[in-house]
Amino acid sequence: MSISNLTSRISGFHRMSAEERREAVAAFAGLDGAATAQLARDGNIDPHLAEHMIENVVSSIAIPVGVATNLRIDGEDVLVPMATEESSVVAAVCNSARQCYDRGGFTTSMSGGEMIAQVQLLGVADPESARLRILERRAEIGALCDACDPMLVRLGGGFRDLEVRILPSRGGTMVIVHLIVDTRDAMGANTVNTMAETLAPRLAEWSGGRSLLRILSNLADRRLARARAVWPVEAIGGEAVRDGMLAAYHFAEADPYRAATHNKGIMNGVSAVVLATGNDTRAVEAGAHAYAARAGRYTSLTHWEMTAEGELAGMIELPMPVGLVGGATKIHPTAQACLKILGVKTAERLARIIAAVGLAQNFGAMKALATVGIQQGHMALHAHNVAIAAGAVGEEVGRVAAILVERRQVRQDAATEVLAQLRG
């Protein structure tokens, strides 16, 4: 991996105008004029393109794209575009990453790049024998899968392995075939679905049963992205903060009610990068939550512990089926501009960056919860939305928001009252 000298430590980034920030990002990422101009355009999707993407198009909805700073990932600084409608998500990543930047930032890895397609076989009289009959045809099955996508094979991907499971169910015993495919820089849903549909009649014939469902599994547990980082105790505000954060993690680890919200916070960061890069947020969300419950009990996607030196160490591991080609990644111009900001050349690098963002987001949420509470930071930003909803325009927005926060009354009725007072 190339180690660059570019720095993500852009001081005063949050105080710059959007135009200044675009210039800073363009300078960092070496964006051309077209990419910068695209970022400058609000509601930046061509209506004709939208028509090709989905059905019944009437409009498009613009979600703000913020850029997270301070991230150092595997020795390389990176600016990370995040698409989200939720206040304080981007700020939390910036703050969390700053607190581990001098300690080296994030170290990441990936388990592999394989997706799983499932073929459901019903009415198989001898499931155990059928399992072996199918496994005996591994080479033939591999060749049939690869023939579905010669381009993928040329790129070094294609069929990798075969699994056959016998699944007892409410409706009787099923035989489930897993086609395991390396989809390289594509998320791979369409790719593996095509393979499953092509193989299904053969599998039905060999098993003596009939095939029904033929589709990928979103529990992409052969495509796990991992990230870890260490936060020095002095950088996070002392031992009491560290111990509070560990207690917050222990709560999430032990309790599904807490874990759901803990993981939702992680996905605030993860989904924002997935969306900004034109990837499938639902696929990543489904995979993450299924993976969090893999031991039979829903739990935290992150792990936290104290190092021998008393520092706070965090780790995350979750399925990350994202691509640089396929789906909307290639055709949405804003997704393309966001991928250029990231400077990623492989889907693996993108997946690893997203894992680091998820860990940073979790750090931010746990720290806030274990200290001042989530509302202090959240409400300061949210107050702007409340002020706008109450009718504030221009400079009124900041003034109304500041008064709401000071009074600890970030509410619509209070905003209406404050606005009326300001306007005399």
**Active site (catalytic) residues:** 86, 264, 280, 378
Sole window of 50-58, 75-83, 241-249, 320-328 interacting with ligand NAD (rule: CB under 6 A): 320-328
Distance of CA 403 to the CA centre of its chain: 35
By CB under 6 A, residue 325 contacts ligand NAD = yes
Least Å distance between CB 179 and ligand NAD? Answer: 13
Q: Single out the residue of 144, 155, 246, 374 in contact with ligand NAD (rule: CB under 6 A).
A: 155
**Binding-site member from 323, 333, 358, 364 for ligand NAD (CB under 6 A):** 323
Tell me, residue by residue from 272 to 311, as one string, x for binding to ligand NAD by CB under 6 A and - for no binding: --------x--x----------------------------
**Which CB, 150 or 201, lies closer to ligand NAD?**
150
C-beta of 8 vs 336, nearer to ligand NAD: 336
- 263 near 300, Cβ under 8 Å? yes
For residue 118, state whether it binds ligand NAD (rule: CB under 6 A).
Answer: no
φ, ψ dihedrals at 69, nearest 5°: -105, 180
**Binders in 177-206 for ligand NAD, by CB under 6 A:** 183-191, 193
* CA–CA dist 37, 334 (Å, integer): 10
Instruction: Give the shortest CB-38-to-ligand NAD separation in angstroms.
Output: 21
> In the bound complex, what is the minimum distance in angstroms from residue 354's beta carbon to ligand NAD?
16
Site for ligand NAD in 8-47 (CB under 6 A): none
Residues 202, 196: Cα–Cα separation, whole Å: 10
Stretch touching ligand NAD by CB under 6 A, among 173-181, 200-208, 319-327, 383-391: 319-327
By beta-carbon proximity to ligand NAD, the closer residue of 107 and 198 is 198
Q: Shortest gap between Cβ of 221 and ligand NAD (angstroms)? A: 14
Tokens for 311, please give them: 């520092």
Among 319, 327, 364, 377, interactor with ligand NAD by CB under 6 A: 327
Nearer to ligand NAD, 183 or 362 (CB): 183
Distance, CA of 260 to CA of 2 (rounded, Å)? 37
- Min dist. Cβ of residue 159 to ligand NAD (A): 13
- Rule CB under 6 A: which of 212-241 touch ligand NAD? 216, 218
Q: At what angle do helices 189-207 and 138-148 cross, to 10 degrees?
A: 140
Site string for ligand NAD, 121-150 (x = CB under 6 A): ----------------------------x-
Residue 175 and residue 127 in contact, taking contact as beta carbons nearer than 8 Å: yes
Nearer to ligand NAD, 105 or 157 (CB): 157
158 touching ligand NAD, by CB under 6 A: no
Size of interface with ligand NAD, in residues (CB under 6 A): 23
Per-position DSSP letters for 38-55, written without gaps between them? HHHSTT-S-HHHHHHHSS
* Least distance from ligand NAD to the Cβ atom of residue 330, Å: 8
- Residues 151, 212, 247, 389: which binds ligand NAD (CB under 6 A)? 151
Nearest approach, Cβ of residue 389 and ligand NAD (Å) = 32
Q: How far is the CB of 188 from ligand NAD (least distance, A)?
A: 5
User: Dihedrals φ, ψ of 227, to 5°?
Assistant: -145, 150
What is the contact surface with ligand NAD in residues (CB under 6 A)? 149, 151-152, 155, 157, 183-191, 193, 216, 218, 280, 283, 323, 325-327
